[in-house]
Every structure is written in structure tokens, then in C-alpha cells.
Chain A
Amino acid sequence: MSHDHHHAPVASRYDLAPERSDIGLIRPDRFTGWRDWLTTVDHKKIGVLYGAFAMFFFLVGGVEALGIRTQLSRPDNDFITARMYNQLFTMHGTTMIFLGVMPLSAAFFNFLVPLQIGARDVAFPRLNAFSLWTFVFGAFVLNASWLFEFAHLSGWLKSFGWYNALVYTDFAPANGWFSYAPLSGTFGQADAALRAPRFTGVGTDFWIIGIQILGIASLAASFNFICTILNMRAKGMTMMRLPVFTWMTLVTSFLIILAFPAITVALIQLMFDRQFGANFFNPSAGGQPVLWQHLFWIFGHPEVYILVLPAMGIVSEVLPTFSGKSLFGYPIIVFSGAVIGFLGFAVWSHHMFTTGLGPVPTAAFSLLTMAIAVPTGVKIFNWLGTIWGGRVRFTPPMVLSLGFIWMFMCGGFSGIMHSSAPADSQQQDSYFVIAHFHYVLLGGVLLGLMSGLYFWFPKIFGRMPKASVAYWASGLVILGFNLAFGPMHYLGLAGQPRRTHTYHAGFGWETWNYVATIGAFILGIGVFIAFANLVWTAFRGEKCSSDPWDGRTLEWSLPSPVPEYNFARSPVIACRDAFFAHKHGAHRLVYEQDGGEAGVHMPSQSWMPLLASCGFLLAGLGMPMSAMGVPHAGWVVIAGLGVLFLGIWLWALEGPGGYMLKTPVAPAPAPAEAAASR
């Protein structure tokens, strides 16, 4: 029955004879073009797809942000309606966090982790494809709400009976990315159909199911990376020799598997409140709205570190490379990353200082929040120590990483300011907070991720982005960013609350809001140039060597673009920064005697992860449509769950498959060659 390993090794997967899986279908191993991309299980291609979707959604979230800023550019503006404004800030936050930063981090995880640990793929390649497509369909479900909203605004829905029976006509979510109950939930008593009155329309249902699906994608990916990092390291790649980016991937993955269950539970409760008349958060039936906040923020605060730790990992790779010096205090950087992850679960209520927790919990969370500044500070000190005594080469990734440290430090400082609960009671929900977390998440995380893009792009595509364009884009991003968010510190302290559609003249907020809007547009242009530069480079950019930066970690020892089997022969590691040591003579890289004519085992491609994910698409669209009252939409949900189970069932039955691929076994470049190739 089993077809495993019965092939003779082939030089290319296109040489394979058509092979049937255990359920009798031809395996899609020989596909090229779009069918190859849809069925791929190659971590590098999946990484590229994650990156492409993430950059697309970054631009979507950016356009939403510019809508917000345009509305706020002058007082009493009515560029967009209040409801549209609320929808924009809800979707801006949700998009940037779940569809922008997280998948872009996932793109790096996917592409880099196997390369950095000397592995040929992740532990579960098909699960990896399932994570990708589940993320894509979750993102689509979330944004499908916009399609309904536009159809509603254009009047296209008027001919439908179910539309005219609707009490609420907001289709895109307008509940904020935090979705506080009971605004997102119900009030009063449920009717005979188990529906209680609500404060918001079906947009919230789109949001609930969309986030739920995205959570499944993140959880599956995280288990995959944990298994990969713990089990698939090359010989000699001990935990304390792991590249810091891989370490941060591991910590982030643990944060995801510990944090997402809380939001999963909360979303199920909220969905039950809305769809089936449950009363978890309904105060008029004895529910507790504050319960939502606890569940949300015990997810939501670790989520902040889920966003920032990968960027810290990137910076911890970029700084040593361009300082020509190993990372200062490697053990303590790793350890402080883990401490940040751990403490991240102990500070959630600092988002709730104004909810009336009482003095003891407020004090406890105040002090813990201050405590988390210590490991964060340690990281900054160690990055400084890395630069100290080095030979700093300025390149686009280095400039962006230095920008990361600077902006993140500023964001950290305003974070210290509102770790103090009494001071925070003036800052909470004001523009000061917006300034703070944009310095951390945009000035910090986005610059870190952009640094990573410019750093690894030559490895991913074998082409080098044009440095002059990169500098201009980075300059515009840094300038526009500070112009947009710097003044918001003042605006917040001058009493402007966030999430407000407009404001009156005479409150002293006019000038700086105008300046912030100009900054936002400069920032938008900068990000657009950077992304356009990268996309252009991917197709047309100048080809470059496999190790253009004098890299330190294993991925730079591979050709660019990286072949699908990654390592022709598995490396054996003797120290940290193994490739750098290899090039500069401390420890030569040694390889195992695998691969070659005997071939390496490659996993088979499969349609099943995509099929299973399609089930989420159907169920995800059906759920809010049934809440709208669209006839038979409930059956779509059931059909979607059916497709999901069918996909997983066939996936289980088709057998793992796989084939043997011959690898060229030329030895790794000798130190002299490596130096010459720069």
C-alpha cells in the first residue's frame, strides 16, 4: 500500500513518474505555475506567499489609516460618516495586527527557521500549507464584510427580502479591534429564536469568525514551528547555538499557543451570545462585560509581544552582521526574550486600569508593567553592546534596524509613562496611547520587518534591492512616521480621545492633527515605495551573490535562490554564527554524508490542506450571512464544516508520500571563495 521511498532518486521533481496517493489521486508533485503554488508544501514558497499576502494587507490597512487621517485633518470634518470612521479604525487595527504584522512575521519564520537550523523543511509541511491557506481565507472572510458594506452603501442589497428585515445595517465591523462587550454583544432578553437585541450589526459577526479562523491558522503554524525547532536542528545545533531569530520564533510560537486559546474561548462565548442567546457578557442577564476584557487582554497583551519579538529577532541578526561582531550577550538576549514572553502574560490588566479594578490589582499590574521594561531595556543595552567596538557598515537593513532601536526605545519610554496607573488614567484611550503603540508597532515592528525584508530579500530571490531607493523609502517612512505620531503625544495629553470620528474647533487640536495627517501621507508614500521597490526587485532586480552581506548564519551558506532541498548535505554545527566562523577560520563547517546520488527525502505536494482551508472559507462566510438572515446560509456553515472534515480526512488517508531528490554535493565554499564572492 505504501508508496514511501519507492522511487529511485530523481534530479528534479518534474522527472517523477505520475504517482497515485493512497486514495488513488495523482499527487500534484509535478505541477508548475499557479497549481504548484496552490499545492506547495515547500516552506520557502509558503514563506513567500505569506509575505506577499501580508504586504498586500499592509497596503489595505494603510489605505484605511489614510482614510482615518484624512477625516481627522480638520475639525468638524465630514469626509466620511461616523460609522465608516468606526469601521475604518476597527479594520485598520485588525488588518495591521492579524493580516499585516503576524503573517509577515510568519513569512520570515517559514523562510528562515529551517534554513537557520540546518533543516530541509518544517516538521509538518502539509500543516504548514494548511496554516497559510487558513490565514488567507480568514483574511478574506474578515474583508468580505467590506464587500457587503459597499453593496449596502450602493443600494445593491435593497431587492433582497432579508436585507429589508435587518434592524442593523452595519456590515463591516465597527466594534474596534478590541471588540469590547457589551457593545459587541447583546443586551436585554433573547427572543424565542434565541436572538437577543444587539448594539452592532453583522460586521461584528464577520469579525468574530474571521479572527477565529485566523487564530486556527496561527495555532497550527506555531505548533509546527515549535516541533521544527525542537526536533529538526542539524547535528551540533544546540539550543544555545540557535540564531536569535529562531529563538524569538520559538518564544513567539509558545506565546501564540498559550495566548490564542483565551481569545478562542472569548470569541466562542461572544458568538454564542450573539447567535444563540447565551449571556456570558450580557449585563442585563447577569453576564460580566469585564470578563471579555480579561479574556481579550490576556490574549491581547502577549499578542503585543507576538508582534514585537520576531522584529527583535530580525534586529538581533542584522546588527551583528553589519557591526561585523557577534551579538553581545547572546545568552542574556535569549533569556530576556523569554522573560518578556513570560511576563507578557502577567501585565494584561494594564489595559484595564480605568475599569475600576481596585487599588491592589492596579498596583500589582502597575509594578509588573514597570518590571517588563527591564528585560526590554536589557535587549537595547545588548544591541548597543553589539555595535560598540564593531565596524558599522551602513546598508538599508542596518539603517532600518537602527531606526527600529531608536523608535522602539521612544515607544518604550512612553510605555514606562503609562505603566504608572495614576498617570495612565489621563492617557488611557487618548491619542497619547496611539502615539505610544505606533512607536512600538510601526516605528518598532514595521521598521524591524522592513529591515528583515531588505536583509533577506537577496537570499529569497537572489536579487539585490536598489540601495538608493531603499534609503529614500526608509527616510520617508522614518520622517513621515515621526511627523504623524510624534504630535499625537501632545494631542493625547491635550485631551483628545481616540476612536472619535471628529472634534470641534476651539479645543486646540487643529494644528497638530493637520500635521499628523501630512505625516501619515508621507509615511504611506514611503511604505509604498519600499514595497514597490521590493516587488520590482523580486522580478527585475540586479542578481547578487549568495552572501552579499558577509552573513553569519547558515542560510547565507546556501545558493540564492535557495534550492528546494535547502542543504545538499546536512551541516554539522560547532559554534554560534557557524557560517561566519567557517568563513573567517574559527571553525570550518562540516557536512554529513547524506544527499548526493542517494537523494534526500522530499515531502509530496497536496491539495488537501487547501481543500480543508476552503471549509473555513465557506463556514466563515456562512456564519455572518446566517446572522444577516440570508436564507439557507446556515446550511453553508454546515457544508463548510463538512468540507473541512473531508479535507482533513482525505489528507489523513492519502499517505505522506514523498520522493527522493538527488542533490549536487559540491563542498561548501572555502573561506577564500566566500570572501571573494562578496
Chain B
Amino acid sequence: MMSRFIARVGLLVLPVIALLTAGCSEADLKVRQSTFDAKGPVARMQYDIFMDSVYLVTVLFAIVGGLLVYAVIRFRARPGDENKPAIVEDGHGNPVTEILLIVASIGALVFLAIPTLKGIWYQDDVPEDRVPAGRLSVWYPRVEGGVENYAEAVKDQVLEIDVVGKQWWFRFEYPQFGLTNDGRRSVPNELVIPKGVPVRINLRSEDVIHSFWIPKVAGKVDLMPGRRNRMWIQADETGHYYGQCAEFCGDSHAYMLFRCEVLEPADFARWVRAQKQDAPEPPAGSKAAEGKALFAAKTCAMCHNVSGHFGAGAFGPDLTHVASRKSLAGAWLDNRNPEAQRAAEAAAGGNTEASAPVDRAVQKANLIRWIGSSGVLHAEAAEPTRDVKPGNRMHYYKMFNVAGLNETKTKLTPSELDALAEYLLTLK
């Protein structure tokens, strides 16, 4: 009975194990959010400790699991046992064995405890030995950026970025460069950092708890409303990294993604300068100019800032450079051509940080889909589509109960939607 059962289970389990091992390849360890493929010192430290724990439990598993299997087979009941007298004993165990096993277990855990303690302090704050390289004045090429890019007072500081979480997007601010939401210069959803230098991240939330996680660069730290958490990160290779909110934060938690662009320091300086540019005026009479008018008329400007055009919006993502970004809607929609992206990754030898450029056609389709399906802002003639981001706040007036603002006033026709998208495409 039993041996047949074991044989049956074996027949079921063996193909599964074969499938599991056959399914593994090196590419599986390099996927976009893989923690196996650490690209910075923090993630590498965390990965190393993880591997320590893997070695530890593999040894323990081999010993305990092996003994268990051995005991079950070796001490199985045999025909004739029923005629033997029963084993009657007191069950006190063997104190010497017990104590030795406890001591051995503690010893095994010390093996993991030591790197753990080192790691906790290492990841808590920017380590001293990394600070000289991280100082703005050391690595930031002043000549190129000019004094306007950072104040003299902060030249001895580490680059600091404020990360603000909201339902369901991230806002990034660079106070040392004046790129803040109060100054209407914040950067939504695509974090940009220079390569090879430590960056201090200050984490805040404006509503519920979120969590900041770029698996290849660093493990997560939560954004707690009412608290200021901090962490430091460093990426050692340039490229386009993928991150995601890792704390359940409501309806669209799954859709709260972000990206992290790691640039050479000189490119980073150029990027900072570009962020300070105002949006260009669309040519009079163009579709984009019509869109610009709609941006005000349909109340978009109440929440969204477009520097140089509309300065009232502090609530939603800053759209001054929306067309320059590779993603939309909290990085849920990708503005790159999927074919081109696959090709780019393949050309880089399966490196998922390689990125194709923005595809304008894809970008425009994304803009139309996103605005057209959001909350009650959907276009009249548009097919009813599932919300790109269920519960998103583009209908927030309902909560604020703003007088005179209702569905009719914010609804868009397909041609209005097109004009709005054309306008947003000019905001590079």
C-alpha cells in the first residue's frame, strides 16, 4: 500500500522537479526587478547576506532533511513487528544530544548574525568612506552646469533626493538644485541619479504608506506619513532601472510603478539644466495650442503644473517635461515600442537596463488612453475602457466638492482629447 503510494507520489513529483530545474536559466536571474542581479553596493550587500543565508539553510536542509528521510526509511515498520513487544520508555530524550544540538543551532545562527549586524548599519546611513566621492563639489562638473545648478552652501553635501509617495505615483525632488514641488519643478515617476556616487534618499508620504523599491539598486524602505525615513542608494552602471511601490496602498497599488534612470555625472548635470527649462509655447493656431487652452478649460491646470504655462497645480504630477519620459501614468504605461525595447535588451546581451528611445506614436496612444479612461474624464465617444489606473484621482473634485465642477465640464470629445495629447507631446 505504502510503497505504491510512494511510487505514485514520486511519479508526480519527479517531473515537477525536472521542470523546475529545466526552467532555470541565467536570464531568469537578470529580469527587470531581479534581486539576484545587484547593480549597486546596497543591493549587493543585501544579496551577499541572502546568499549567506542560502548556504546556511542548504547545509541545515541537507542534514535535517537527510536524517528525516533516512529515519523514515530505516525505521519503517516491518512485517513481524506486531509480534515484538511494544517499545515502552519514559520519553525523557537525551539531554547531552539536546544541548549539543541547541549549541550547534546557535552557532549556525551566529554565522548569519554577524553579516546581518554589519549590513544593518551599512544600509542605514551613507557610509563615511563613501562620502568624499559623493560630495557635490567633488563629482559635479560645475563648469558645465554653472553656479545656478546648486547653491554654494551645499557643495560639501551628498546629493539628496526627496521622494514623496502619493496614491498612486511618486514625486522626486532635488532641493539642492531647486527642483522642488514648491518651486513647481518636481520630477514625477522617473527618478534620475548619477552613476557611481551615493545618493541620500529622504522618504515622505502625503497620504497612505508606500514603499520605495528598486530591486537592483537597493531593498525597500517605507514612506510613512508623518515620518521622515531615509536610505541611501548607489547605482554602479548606467541604464534604465525598474522600481515599484511595495506596500499595499489602495485600489491601484499594483499600478504604482516608477523608473530610475542612471546617467553619467555629466549627463546628469545636463539633465538637471534641462529640468529648469520652461515649456515652449506651442505655435499659434496649432492643434497643440488648442490643447493648451483645453488644459485650462478642462481644469487640468488646477492640479498639474506646466512651468511657463500654468503654475497653479501642486497636487498632481508636474507635466512640464512629460513628453521626455519613457513612461506614463505612474510608469504603468510604457512609451517605448515593445519590439524596439526587446531588440535593445537583446543587443545589450540580455541587459534589461538597456532602453529603446521614446516612440512618439506609442506615447500619443498612451496619452489618449490614459486621459480618456481616467475616472469620469472619459471621452464621450471613446469606447468604454477599463480604467488604466482604477480609482485614480483625476476626478478628485468629487472629493473636494468644488462648486460648479462636474462631469459635464470635464468631459472630453475625441478631438479635444487629441488636441490635449498633441499639447502634452510638446512638453519635452
Q: Interface on A for B, CB 8 Å cutoff? A: 78, 81-83, 85-86, 167, 174, 176, 180, 182-183, 187, 197, 199-200, 283-284, 286-290, 320, 323-332, 354-356, 358-359, 362-363, 366-367, 370-371, 373-374, 377-378, 380-382, 384-385, 387-394, 399, 402, 405-406, 409-410, 413-414, 416-417, 419-430, 467, 471, 475, 478-479, 482-483, 486-487, 490, 493-504, 506-509, 511-512, 515, 575-577, 580-581, 583-586
Do residues B248 and A180 form an inter-chain contact, with CB atoms below 8 A? yes
B333's nearest neighbour on chain A, judged by CB, is: A504
Q: Compute how far the CA of A677 lies from the CA of B121 in the bound complex, rounded to whole angstroms.
A: 65
Do residues B86 and A380 form an inter-chain contact, with CB atoms below 8 A? no
Q: Which of A199, A406, A417 meets B50, CB within 8 Å?
A: A417
Do residues A323 and B53 form an inter-chain contact, with CB atoms below 8 A? no
Do residues B57 and A283 form an inter-chain contact, with CB atoms below 8 A? no
10 smallest beta-carbon distances between A and B, as pairs:
A495-B33, A329-B93, A425-B219, A508-B31, A326-B91, A422-B119, A283-B226, A356-B229, A500-B254, A413-B57
Task: Tell me the chain B residues, 1-34 only, with Cβ under 8 Å from chain A.
Answer: 1-2, 5, 8-9, 12-13, 16, 19-20, 23, 27-29, 31-34
Do residues B88 and A586 form an inter-chain contact, with CB atoms below 8 A? yes
Task: Tell me the chain B residues, 200-242 only, with Cβ under 8 Å from chain A.
Answer: 203, 207-209, 211, 213, 215, 218-222, 224-227, 229-230, 242
**Chain A residues, CB < 8 A from B88:** 326, 580-581, 584-586
Do residues A506 and B32 form an inter-chain contact, with CB atoms below 8 A? yes
Known: A78-B386, A402-B72. A479 touches B5 (CB 8 A): no
Interface core residue of B8, B115, B207, B254 (most chain A CB under 10 Å): B254
CB<8 Å pairs between A and B, sample of 22: A82-B255, A180-B248, A283-B225, A288-B226, A289-B225, A326-B89, A356-B227, A359-B121, A377-B101, A384-B71, A387-B75, A390-B75, A391-B75, A420-B50, A421-B119, A425-B123, A479-B16, A487-B20, A495-B33, A508-B27, A512-B23, A576-B91
Q: Compute how far the CA of A374 lies from the CA of B72 in the bound complex, rounded to whole angstroms.
A: 23
B116 CB–A CB distance under 8 Å = yes
Known: A378-B102, A392-B72. A420 touches B43 (CB 8 A): no
A358's nearest neighbour on chain B, judged by CB, is: B124
Do residues A330 and B61 form an inter-chain contact, with CB atoms below 8 A? no
Q: Which of A324, A430, A475 meets B77, CB within 8 Å?
A: A324
B281 to chain A, nearest CB (A): 36
**Chain B residues, CB < 8 A from A426:** 35, 43, 46-47, 50, 215, 219-220
Do residues B251 and A366 form an inter-chain contact, with CB atoms below 8 A? no
User: How many pairs of residues, A versus B, come closer than 8 Å at their CB atoms?
Assistant: 337
Task: Tell me the chain B residues, 58-83 only, with Cβ under 8 Å from chain A.
Answer: 60-61, 64-65, 67-68, 71-72, 75-78, 81
Interface core residue of B13, B81, B222 (most chain A CB under 10 Å): B222
B85 CB–A CB distance under 8 Å = yes
B56 to chain A, nearest CB (A): 7
B390 CB–A CB distance under 8 Å = yes
A375's nearest neighbour on chain B, judged by CB, is: B102
Q: Compute how far the CA of A498 lies from the CA of B220 in the bound complex, rounded to whole angstroms.
A: 13
**Chain A residues, CB < 8 A from B72:** 387, 392, 402
Q: Which of B16, B61, B97, B250 meets A409, CB within 8 Å?
A: B61
Q: Compute how far the CA of A327 lies from the CA of B90 in the bound complex, rounded to whole angstroms.
A: 9
B343 CB–A CB distance under 8 Å = no
A371's nearest neighbour on chain B, judged by CB, is: B109
Q: Compute how far the CA of A580 lies from the CA of B85 in the bound complex, rounded to whole angstroms.
A: 12
Known: A394-B5, A413-B61, A423-B53. A580 touches B34 (CB 8 A): no
**Chain A residues, CB < 8 A from B248:** 86, 176, 180, 183, 429, 498-499
Q: Which of A497, A507, A584 meets B245, CB within 8 Å?
A: A497
B365 to chain A, nearest CB (A): 16
Do residues A370 and B207 form an inter-chain contact, with CB atoms below 8 A? no
B106 CB–A CB distance under 8 Å = yes
Q: Which of A402, A467, A490, A497 meets B246, CB within 8 Å?
A: A497
Name the interface size band of chain B. 35 or more
A222 to chain B, nearest CB (A): 28
Do residues A493 and B34 form an inter-chain contact, with CB atoms below 8 A? yes
B31 to chain A, nearest CB (A): 3
B120 to chain A, nearest CB (A): 5
Do residues A420 and B53 form an inter-chain contact, with CB atoms below 8 A? yes
Do residues A417 and B101 form an inter-chain contact, with CB atoms below 8 A? no
B133 to chain A, nearest CB (A): 22
Do residues B399 and A183 form an inter-chain contact, with CB atoms below 8 A? no
B397 CB–A CB distance under 8 Å = no
Do residues A393 and B220 form an inter-chain contact, with CB atoms below 8 A? no
Do residues B33 and A329 form an inter-chain contact, with CB atoms below 8 A? no
Do residues B49 and A406 form an inter-chain contact, with CB atoms below 8 A? no
Q: Which of B34, B56, B67, B211 meets A354, CB within 8 Å?
A: B211
Do residues B91 and A413 form an inter-chain contact, with CB atoms below 8 A? no
Q: Compute how far the CA of A479 lies from the CA of B20 in the bound complex, rounded to whole angstroms.
A: 13
**Chain B residues, CB < 8 A from A430:** 246
Do residues B78 and A406 form an inter-chain contact, with CB atoms below 8 A? no
A7 to chain B, nearest CB (A): 44
**Chain A residues, CB < 8 A from B91:** 320, 326-330, 576-577
A91 to chain B, nearest CB (A): 14
Q: Which of B28, B71, B75, B253 meets A490, CB within 8 Å?
A: B28
Known: A83-B391, A475-B5, A581-B88. A494 touches B28 (CB 8 A): yes
Do residues B390 and A82 form an inter-chain contact, with CB atoms below 8 A? yes
Further pairs besides A323-B75, A384-B67, A422-B123: 20, Cβ < 8 Å: A167-B399, A289-B209, A330-B93, A354-B211, A373-B105, A381-B101, A387-B72, A391-B76, A391-B78, A406-B68, A413-B57, A421-B116, A422-B49, A425-B123, A429-B248, A478-B9, A479-B13, A497-B213, A507-B33, A583-B86
B387's nearest neighbour on chain A, judged by CB, is: A82
Q: Compute how far the CA of A359 lies from the CA of B242 in the bound complex, rounded to whole angstroms.
A: 27
Do residues A420 and B116 form an inter-chain contact, with CB atoms below 8 A? yes
Do residues B46 and A584 form an inter-chain contact, with CB atoms below 8 A? no
Do residues B246 and A182 form an inter-chain contact, with CB atoms below 8 A? no
**Chain A residues, CB < 8 A from B334:** 504
Do residues A392 and B76 form an inter-chain contact, with CB atoms below 8 A? yes
B186 CB–A CB distance under 8 Å = no
Do residues A82 and B252 form an inter-chain contact, with CB atoms below 8 A? yes
Q: Which of A358, A387, A584 meets B86, CB within 8 Å?
A: A584
Q: Which of B219, B253, B390, B399 meets A81, CB within 8 Å?
A: B390
Known: A182-B208, A354-B221, A416-B57. A197 touches B399 (CB 8 A): yes
Do residues A493 and B246 form an inter-chain contact, with CB atoms below 8 A? no
**Chain B residues, CB < 8 A from A422:** 45-46, 49, 116, 119-120, 122-123, 219
B402 to chain A, nearest CB (A): 14
**Chain B residues, CB < 8 A from A500:** 253-254
B305 CB–A CB distance under 8 Å = no
Do residues A389 and B85 form an inter-chain contact, with CB atoms below 8 A? no
B116 to chain A, nearest CB (A): 4
**Chain A residues, CB < 8 A from B9:** 475, 478-479
Do residues B254 and A475 form an inter-chain contact, with CB atoms below 8 A? no
Q: Compute how far the CA of A63 lies from the CA of B34 in the bound complex, rounded to whole angstroms.
A: 31
B34's nearest neighbour on chain A, judged by CB, is: A494
**Chain A residues, CB < 8 A from B254:** 82, 85, 499-503
Q: Compute how far the CA of A381 lies from the CA of B100 in the bound complex, rounded to whole angstroms.
A: 11
A373's nearest neighbour on chain B, judged by CB, is: B109
